[in-house]
Amino acid sequence: MRAWNSDLRSPVRCRLALAGVLMLAALLPVSATAAQTSVDTCIAPEASHQERIAGCTAVINDRNAPAFKVKVAYCNRGFALTELQQYDRVIADSNAAIRIDPKEPCGYLNRGRAWFYKNEIDRAIADYTQTIKLDPTYHEAFANRGAAYHERREFARAVAEYDVAIRIDPNVAMYYRDRGNSLSYMREYSRAVDDLSRAIDLDPRDADLYFRRGTMETELGYLDQAITDFTKATELTPDDLRFWRARAKAHELRGDAERARADRDEALRREGGSQRRLKSAGAPAPTR
Query: Secondary structure of 150-184 in the HEC alphabet?
Result: HHCCCHHHHHHHHHHHHHHCCCCHHHHHHHHHHHH
Rounded-to-integer distance, Cα 214 and Cα 89, Å: 39
Phi first, then psi: give them for residue 63, nearest 5 degrees.
-65, -20
Asked if residue 135 belongs to a domain, the reply is no
Q: Which of 185, 200, 136 is nearest to 164 (CA)?
A: 136
Question: How do residues 198-235 score in pLDDT, each as one tens digit?
Answer: 999 999 999 999 999 999 999 999 999 999 999 999 99
The count of structural domains within the chain is: 2
Range of the domain at 48: 18-110
pLDDT band at 184 (very low <50, low <70, confident <90, very high): very high
Asked if residue 261 belongs to a domain, the reply is yes
Cα distances from 87 to residues 23, 49, 81, 282, in angstroms, run 20, 14, 7, 29
pLDDT at 155 over 70: yes
Asked if residue 87 belongs to a domain, the reply is yes
DSSP letters spanning 11-64: GGGT-----SS-S-TT----SSHHHHHHHHHHH-TT--HHHHHHHHHHHHH-TT
The domain boundary residue, chosen from 70, 91, 110: 110
Asked if residue 215 belongs to a domain, the reply is yes
Asked if residue 251 belongs to a domain, the reply is yes
Q: What is the mean pLDDT of the chain?
A: 87
- Please give the pLDDT value at position 251: 98
Q: In CATH, what number is assigned to the domain containing residue 226? A: 1.25.40.10
- Please give the pLDDT value at position 133: 98
Mean predicted confidence (pLDDT) in 169-187: 98
Cα distances from 34 to residues 22, 40, 60, in angstroms, run 21, 10, 14
The domain boundary residue, chosen from 48, 80, 110: 110
Asked if residue 274 belongs to a domain, the reply is yes
The domain boundary residue, chosen from 71, 89, 110: 110
The reported pTM is 0.84
Ranked by mean pLDDT, which of 13-22, 50-59, 142-151 comes out on top?
A: 142-151
Asked if residue 266 belongs to a domain, the reply is yes
Question: How do residues 62-82 score in pLDDT, each as one tens digit?
Answer: 999 999 999 999 999 999 999
Please name the residues in contact with 159: beta carbons below 8 A apart, sequence gap of 6 or more. Answer: 146, 179, 182, 183, 186
